[in-house]
Copies of this chain bind each other. A is one copy, B any other.
Amino acid sequence: MTTNPMLTIDGLQYSNWSREIFEQMREGGVNAVHATLVYHENTRETLSRFGDWHRRFEQHADLIMPVYEPADIERARDSNRVGVFFGAQNCSPIEDDIDMVAVMRRLGLLIMQLTYNNQSLLATGCYEANDPGITRFGRQVIEEMNRVGMIIDMSHSSERSTLEAIELSRRPVIISHANPASFHPAKRNKSDEVLKALADSGGLLGFSVYPFHLKDGPDCTLESFCNMVADTAELMGVDHIGIGTDLCQGQPQSVLDWMRNGRWSKEMDFGEGNKSNAGWPAPLEWFRDNRDFPNLISGLRQKGFAVTDIEKIMGRNWLHQLTQGTPAES
């Protein structure tokens, strides 16, 4: 069914999940995916998103299975299914309640961003004008996330908050989906200083193929993308990079509006777009959907990466992050 025998883990998607997409994942050789569970949903609403996934696991038990611990990824692979592990793009699932960290972890939330673009109760987002760093509550939550084995993701956070989170956390921090700002300057892309600190912490950067994060946008070539990967491997080390496509396959405009606006604004916020470019960006030619993961492997081969390094980038580094970052509960 797949022409991609390499362990492949996508470090972020928020697709409009369907049987068709799960089949495409298998076709593209995706063994596991970090699925965004929520953007702005509160604690109660987050439970309903878990409910949606329980239904999917029941209805598509032949194609997908939940990943509650890293070993489930191997189980998924052995049974020719896609393992799904969960992350929140914001800290809204825990509201103002430190106890909800352990509750969400028990439910299967393995990863949580401390903020999504805006200031949160924990940290500052990358769209804010000022970044006062990690808050008092944020320090408590970082310690609790470390304790229960929930990985800290700073993809949508700002510079100072990210550096402080890396400093405060006893465990490696990740940026599941972003690119180096040196490749393409965007609010969502990361400085060399952040990327080096991330690597020093033992963490990981997942490269995004979301056109707003790429040089030349939807026209970015596979060669250009792979040059960026090579430059970043140079900067961070090949053990600290992976893939986090940020693929939002089949999502309607209403979902993009929810991601950008949640309940926080009465005016329309256009995020990385603008009023005359408010919609989803056109997809890359060489990465239209989950069937195109083999193109990434080809591109990295073309660029001259060794097979063992490509294996790390395509999935092994992600598996290592999960293994060290989400130990089984004691």
Chain A contact residues, CB within 8 Å of chain B: 43-44, 47-48, 50-52, 54-55, 61, 97, 99-100, 102-103, 106-108, 330
Chain B contacts for A97, CB-based, 8 A: 48, 51
- In Å, the complex CA distance between A99 and B103 comes to 17
User: Can you list 6 A-B pairs with a CB-CB distance of less than 8 A?
Assistant: A44-B44, A47-B47, A50-B99, A51-B99, A51-B103, A52-B99
Q: Which residue of B lies closest to A44 (CB)?
A: B44
Chain B contacts for A55, CB-based, 8 A: 99
- Assess the B106–A51 pair: CB atoms within 8 A: no
- In Å, the complex CA distance between A276 and B129 comes to 65
Min C-beta distance of A218 to chain B, whole Å: 37
- Assess the A107–B103 pair: CB atoms within 8 A: yes
- Assess the A102–B43 pair: CB atoms within 8 A: no
- Assess the A54–B103 pair: CB atoms within 8 A: yes
Q: Which residue of B lies closest to A147 (CB)?
A: B58
Chain B contacts for A100, CB-based, 8 A: 47, 51
- In Å, the complex CA distance between A155 and B263 comes to 43
Q: Which residue of B lies closest to A107 (CB)?
A: B106
Chain B contacts for A43, CB-based, 8 A: 44, 47
- In Å, the complex CA distance between A51 and B106 comes to 11
